[in-house]
Amino acid sequence: MATKSAIEWTEMTWNPVSGCTKISQGCKNCYAARMALRLEAMGSPRYANGFQVTTHEDLIDTPKKWRKPRTIFVNSMSDLFHDQISDSFIKRVFETMRDCPQHTFQVLTKRSERLAKLGSSLDWPPNVWMGVSVERADVMRRIADLVKVPAKVRFLSCEPLIGPLENIPLNGIHWVIVGGESGPGARPMKSSWAESIQLQCREAGVPFFFKQWGGVRKHKTGRTLNGSIFNEMPPSPNVGIWNHELVQIGRVAHT
């Protein structure tokens, strides 16, 4: 499935896999789980298995049909490195990304151990950005796994940020996203947590993207941090005008 995304740091989502299982505190209020169950109840054939891990063979080549360059978030409805997804299926997803140099692909996982294990057997073309979720200090170890893979852009998604992150090892990291949790049961993010990460990124020279404060009604809390919008993106030779504009906005706001 491929759809235009409301996520602030991407354009499209591509879901050759759906379904997942919760693995850490960041998963507590998983949006994908809620959405999958809603789609199942609505009778969507793609979600006949609800939130069980399901691979969609017919979607594996979908990005090849898009000529216009796009920034694509891979598997917003799952985790590509889930242990129920075969090595060969993951490799085929990477082959599609390699065969679509016109696009930029953003892959995000909480299964960093499997990423590190499989990393050397995957293709890493420059249009694949690889990230891990770091929602709380107890999962900061995922960063050590991420830096083992030779992705051109390695990023951290600190969302939903549910605790402070001090002394983040930012060496080898090219982008950091921070966001508070949104939707029913959203856990609050302290401003000091977000400010500390922004400061650590500035000191390390790492682009910082502040996605949202979140909350039950996220449109009311906005995405301004200390009076600025932080839309910084990693420089990449392979991004379209859409990202270029964001890089410029980020520079204007923070130079």
Residues that bind ligand SF4 (CB under 6 A): 20, 22-23, 26-27, 30, 32-33, 78-79, 110
**Nearest distance in Å: CB 33, ligand SF4:** 6
CA distances from 77 to 14, 32, 49, 136, 160 (A): 9, 5, 13, 21, 16
CB-nearer residue toward ligand SF4: 84 or 200: 84
Which of 254, 209, 222 has its CA nearest to residue 9? 209
Nearer Cβ to ligand SF4 (83/195): 83
* Residues 126 and 152 sit within 8 Å (Cβ to Cβ): yes
CB of 73 to ligand SF4, least distance (A): 12
- Report in angstroms how near the CB of residue 32 gets to ligand SF4 at its nearest: 4
Quote the least distance from Cβ 35 to ligand SF4, whole Å.
Answer: 10
C-beta of 51: minimal distance to ligand SF4 in Å? 8
- Which residue's CB is nearer to ligand SF4, number 34 or number 217? 34
Q: What is the closest distance, in whole angstroms, from the C-beta atom of residue 253 to ligand SF4 in the complex?
A: 29
Based on CB atoms, which residue is closest to ligand SF4, 19 or 234? 19
Give the pair of three-digit tokens for residue 178. Answer: 């921070």
Q: Say how far apart CA 55 and CA 207 lie, in whole Å.
A: 33
Q: Which residues contact 127 (CB under 8 A, 6 or more apart)?
A: 97, 100, 101, 103, 104, 105, 152, 238
Question: What are the two backbone dihedrals, phi and then psi, of residue 194, each rounded to the nearest 5 degrees?
Answer: -65, -40
Nearer to ligand SF4, 26 or 179 (CB): 26
Closer residue to ligand SF4 (CB): 77 or 170: 77
CB 26 within 8 A of CB 136: yes
Q: Which two tokens stand for residue 31?
A: 């949006």
